[in-house]
Amino acid sequence: MKRRAAVLSALAAVLAATTAGTTLTATAHGGRPAPARHGTLLDAVPRSGVLRVCTTGDYLPYSHRDPKTGDYRGIDIDMARDLAQSLDAKAEFTPTTWSGILGDLTAGHCDIAMGGVSVTLPRARAAAFSEPYRTDGKTPITRCADQDDYTTLERIDRPGVRVVVNPGGTNEAFARAHLHRATIVVHPDNTTIFDEIVAGRADVMITDASETLYQAKLHPQLCAVHPDHPFTFAEKAYLLPRGDREFEDYVDQWVHLRTHDGTYQRFAAPWQ
């Protein structure tokens, strides 16, 4: 009897551990627990009818949130809605920041992060990336009258040059890794950061080439500096929870199809 009780006790412990391993529960902001996830999002999203999308809403042409209405627009907003529709669901956008986007995803506050997210190895250690949908890289944007002054990192990294960055993302990380003599100015609002250059409060920003091209259209005073030959190679992709291979495979197939059937190009056309 004692041996049988010991076996049953051990079996109960194994079953409890297995159950704990298949339930993902995270703690949200302010200690509020995020919803537990059982199985794969490939089944959970159609079942709930909602695809929860983390997005910063401050990065045109990919994701922008209107501060008055709260409505979202951009290339990746349209892509998010298309992905949700393919899963018989609707996209529900969860506001986040560049410094918090990875933590929000891994904590279970959303099912996917979209909005011009660059593939980086530190992010890849904590989450999965979809198949890339765009090639990009860091390049300068400055006042057109000054564009010949900032063609190389050496010319940018000089005393007296004010390089403006948005906090917490790859732009700030790149600037701090490569600039040691220039002054790095952190501007908290990525939606108004280019106005700092126009107004003369900053000299240059190093950001994704795709963003420099779009912002140069919005601000005729600004010019993208060699956007076809950026300082770095980078790719845009969608950030996914690590360990959900079924959902990852589905999103990869969706990205592959949408970047080859004209859908992505159709969503991107109004922003080019």
Both tokens of residue 239? 């950030």
Q: Can you tell me the distance from the alpha carbon of 209 to that of 102, in angstroms, rounded to the nearest whole number? A: 22
Share of the chain above pLDDT 90, in %: 86
* 128, 112 Cβ separation under 8 angstroms: no
Model confidence band, residue 6 (pLDDT cutoffs 50, 70, 90): very low
Pinpoint the residues of the chain covered by CATH 3.40.190.10.
39-135+234-271, 138-224
CATH architecture of 39-135+234-271: 3-Layer(aba) Sandwich (3.40)
Residue 157 reports pLDDT greater than 90: yes
Nearest to 133 by CA among 80, 93, 169: 80
3-state helix, strand, coil in the chain (%, to 5): 40, 20, 35
pLDDT tens for 61-110 read 999 999 999 999 999 999 999 999 999 999 999 999 999 999 999 999 99
Give the pLDDT confidence score for residue 38 in this predicted structure: 64
Structure-token match 């159709």, residue found: 266
CB 206 within 8 A of CB 140: yes
In DSSP terms, 24 is beta-bridged to: 37
pLDDT in tens, 170-203: 999 999 999 999 999 999 999 999 999 999 999 9
Cα–Cα distances in angstroms (integers) from residue 50 to residues 70, 75, 86, 91, in the given order: 18, 20, 12, 6
Can you tell me whether residue 134 is helix, strand or coil? strand
Tell me the whole-structure pTM to 2 decimals.
0.81
CATH of domain 138-224: 3.40.190.10
Q: Reading across the β-sheet that carries 239-240, which strands appear in turn?
A: 90-95, 50-55, 112-113, 239-240, 128-129
